[in-house]
Chains A and B, each alone.
Chain A
Amino acid sequence: MKPILELQELTAGFEQDGEWVNVLRSITFGLAENEILGIVGETGSGKSVLARAIMGLLPGNGRIRGGDIRFRGKSLVGLKPSEYRKIRGSEIGLIATNAKALLDPVERVGNQIARVLREHRGVQWDLAKQAAIDLLAKVGIRDPAERAESYPHQLSGGMAQRVIIAMALVAQPQVLLADDATLGLDATVQVQVLDMMVERCRQLGLSVILITHDLGMVAHYCDRVAIVRDGQIVELKPVSRFLAAPESEYSRELLESAKPKDSEADMPGFEVRSKSAQPDAILAVQQLTKIFATPILNRFVRAVDDVSFSIDRGETLALVGESGSGKTTIGQCLVRLLAPNSGKIIFDGQDITNWTEGQFRPLRRRIQIVFQEPYLALNPRWRVFDLIAEPLRLLLYRDRKKITARVHAVLEMVKLPISLTRVFPNELTAGEQKRLGIARALATEPDLLIFDEPTTALDIRVRAQIIELVRELQSRTRLSALYITHDLNSVRSLAHRVAVMNRGRIVETGPTAQVFSQPEQPYTKALLSAELPIERPAGTEIAQYEYNHE
């Protein structure tokens, strides 16, 4: 079968300080009709540049330096801007990340979709508008006629993403590029959006390039997969064959990193815990409630609603839920960044709920938190050494030697080289910043550590390293931890017990294995079914194509 889109030895790059840096190096692949190709790579692998190169939208001083992009046999490289414009959106559509930023904030979304159709197909305005509304219905938006009159800020993230998908589909392009199209959406919404998108594409016979870093997504939706590293394709083969036998070392590593670690029974600290007959709680939370007032709407939101749980010494409790479920609010109440409206927080037998900031400060040594966005939680003007030393200076000792020794010890604990102490946080990679955040929280040897989304927005391998690090800390230090996350996969690897949150309430609690294998509440079931495991779902084997152009 002849491929509809073909890349031959494509090389593209950017000019930096007068030098060429190649971001894509001899990329060659073909996309067959009605095929879904997954392109997987880590940050900086060049996968987004690839999508832009195909669209003829390389930013700034980027240029294609060699090779060819052929669409239906016709070369796209060196096309005049006016001709490229005819192809963009009409023949090749792009769905990018962060839908809300892509929509024009001062135009109704229905008009934005209709405009694409008018531009490419010259349809009358009212017909185009009607087509936009029909399409909004097909991408699963309720009350499409009403929603078409909305402005982007009135839509949720999931709805905005659907609008972007509708916009990409409206002119019925032959090829669709989805560049991390569902990044940042909740798992349940992500599955809905992807299901809908793939179904529409299969119906219309579109070819799709699905660019992602999520191997579960590839396993679920794609026919073939290309692994990209440093701007080169490392491996390109049908998904089922890739999952069964990845060829290159790198692919194997990726696949291994994405899989959950062993079951609960071999978890570090598990045996110790089950042996001690009398569990003693380091932290008990009783009927905690936090209400936020929204001044403009004059409404009250119960972000945390009557929540009770406890954490034993040496135990890791995972708090899982989607965005807005109140899990981060609980973490912030525990470290007193927020004051709860009612309820009790009992730490090590003492009721600390109504302590003043002055009373509480000495206790901060014993309760530490690892913040969600590592980079934002680090003062950009401080060096690594001072960042880690801060809690030591403020809470523990004044002796410079002791501080230095402890900083070096925790750096070693999180496997960061001591040479990094003189460096500023913006010079670190995302993974190193996460480690730094953990190192700082560990510095004062806290009795309770709160992790707020430690694995979000990390590449597959870095994420696996962070999970490994937490597991190691559990076995080395008998850590007690509250692990806040929406990443169910990581919960399997390191939590003894799990509490599922929905709209401010805990709907289900239990040992991790039990909750995951036999969920009782419908919400837990929905959450679990939205996970995309890295296995081929049975019965969805799609006919494989023959490729003779390679």
Chain B
Amino acid sequence: MKLVDCIYRIAKRPAALIGLALLCIQIVAVLFGPLMTPYSPVEANPLETLQPPSLQHLLGTDVSGMDILSRIVYATRINLLISIGAVGAAFMVGVPIGLLVGYYRGPVSGLIMRIFDFIQAFPVFVLGLALVSVLGQEIWNVAIVLAILFTPMFARLIRAEVLSLRERPFVNAARCNGATDAVILFRHLLPNALTASSVQISISIGMAILLTAGLSFIGAGVRTPTPEWGLMVSDGAQQMILGVWWDSLFPGLAIVLSVLCFALLGDELKTLFDPSSVRRRR
């Protein structure tokens, strides 16, 4: 009954349909990428460098002669892995911190919030460069950088919700029913505080894809020949002056569509979770 309701509501919204379709394409690319691509994403072919799009290489080849389509498809794995992994880690860490900081207001909570201020005030790319130069240019390090960046965001969202929820009478009512702090935190406050941050997950994944690409572009991300969208755009940009437009255009489009997908889904989730859109019984 509820599922049917959900499907019906989604079907009426074109933005949701586009978002879901793009998500499906990405999932297919992640799962069946190697089966669909005729070329290896990391093997150079000096005989076929910088070929324009043709039937053989649908999106052309890059400076090392690697097939761009294959690289884009493979890169979906790495990009989504980094983004989803980073956002997931940030969510798992940020939510409990936000919950505790919102509920127990004290000097420690204040200190944690100031640390978050510091992280968020720091220029993203400078932080990225610094961390990657210390930790090394590995994809996991990019994910860690992003996770550190996103943790304060989730913590703040949860904290803001908890600050208003903890004053609501149902929390007092729970206390009168013998609830301990743990019961109040995890059974009463957490479920009510999660809506905003659940929506934020999808939007954050989009942002993470963009930031991964950005970090790679400035050389603080993964290293060639690892297929990664931002890196491909960066490498291709050097050839742009020679009239080689396909080398950075197509990975760029992949970034645009992927970010668009998660942004659309985030927006749709927001409307779906909106309590005013839930029908009353009578």
A377 touches which of B172, B183, B191, B282 (Cβ 8 Å) = B172
Total count of chain B residues near the partner, CB < 8 A: 21
Closest Cβ–Cβ distance, residue A428 to chain B (whole Å):
8
**Cα(A364)–Cα(B175), bound, Å:** 9
Q: A377-B169, A379-B188 are in contact. Are A368 and B176 (CB under 8 A)?
A: yes
Closest Cβ–Cβ distance, residue B141 to chain A (whole Å):
38
**Cα(A210)–Cα(B63), bound, Å:** 83
B residues 129-184 in Cβ contact with A at 8 Å: 168-170, 172-180, 183
Closest Cβ–Cβ distance, residue B280 to chain A (whole Å):
6
Contact B178 A391 (CB under 8 A): yes
| In the complex, per-residue mask of A389-404: 1 if CB is within 8 Å of any chain B CB, else 0 | 0110011000000000
Q: A335 at the A/B interface (Cβ < 8 Å)?
A: yes
Q: Note all chain A residues with C-beta closer than 8 A to B170.
A: 376-380
Closest A residue to B188 by beta carbon equals: A379
Q: B192 at the A/B interface (Cβ < 8 Å)?
A: yes
Contact B281 A369 (CB under 8 A): no
Q: Note all chain A residues with C-beta closer than 8 A to B191.
A: 381
Contact A394 B192 (CB under 8 A): no
**Cα(A391)–Cα(B176), bound, Å:** 8
Q: Note all chain A residues with C-beta closer than 8 A to B172.
A: 332, 337, 371, 377
Closest Cβ–Cβ distance, residue A550 to chain B (whole Å):
34
Contact B176 A335 (CB under 8 A): yes
Closest A residue to B181 by beta carbon equals: A357
Contact A371 B169 (CB under 8 A): yes
Contact B183 A394 (CB under 8 A): yes
| In the complex, per-residue mask of B78-100: 1 if CB is within 8 Å of any chain A CB, else 0 | 00000000000000000000000
**Cα(A395)–Cα(B177), bound, Å:** 7
Q: A423-B281, A427-B280 are in contact. Are A376 and B178 (CB under 8 A)?
A: no
Q: Note all chain A residues with C-beta closer than 8 A to B278.
A: 426
Q: Note all chain B residues with C-beta closer than 8 A to A335.
A: 176
Closest A residue to B173 by beta carbon equals: A377
Closest Cβ–Cβ distance, residue B166 to chain A (whole Å):
12
Contact A427 B174 (CB under 8 A): no
Q: Note all chain B residues with C-beta closer than 8 A to A390.
A: 174, 177, 179
Contact A379 B176 (CB under 8 A): no
Q: A535 at the A/B interface (Cβ < 8 Å)?
A: no
Contact A426 B169 (CB under 8 A): no
| In the complex, per-residue mask of A343-380: 1 if CB is within 8 Å of any chain B CB, else 0 | 00000000000000000010011001101110011111
Chain B residues within 8 Å of A, Cβ to Cβ: 168-170, 172-180, 183, 188, 191-192, 275, 278, 280-282
Apart from A376-B169, A377-B170, A381-B192, 18 more pairs, CB < 8 Å:
A332-B172, A337-B172, A361-B180, A365-B178, A368-B176, A371-B172, A371-B173, A378-B170, A379-B192, A391-B177, A394-B177, A394-B183, A395-B177, A395-B178, A427-B280, A427-B282, A428-B281, A440-B173
Chain A residues within 8 Å of B, Cβ to Cβ: 332, 335, 337, 361, 364-365, 368-369, 371-373, 376-381, 390-391, 394-395, 423, 426-429, 440
14 A-B pairs, CB-CB below 8 angstroms?
A332-B172, A361-B178, A365-B178, A371-B169, A371-B173, A372-B169, A373-B169, A378-B173, A379-B188, A380-B192, A381-B192, A390-B177, A394-B180, A395-B177
Q: Ordered nearest first, which 9 A-B pairs have the shortest CB separation? A: A391-B177, A427-B281, A394-B178, A395-B178, A377-B169, A377-B173, A376-B169, A379-B170, A364-B178
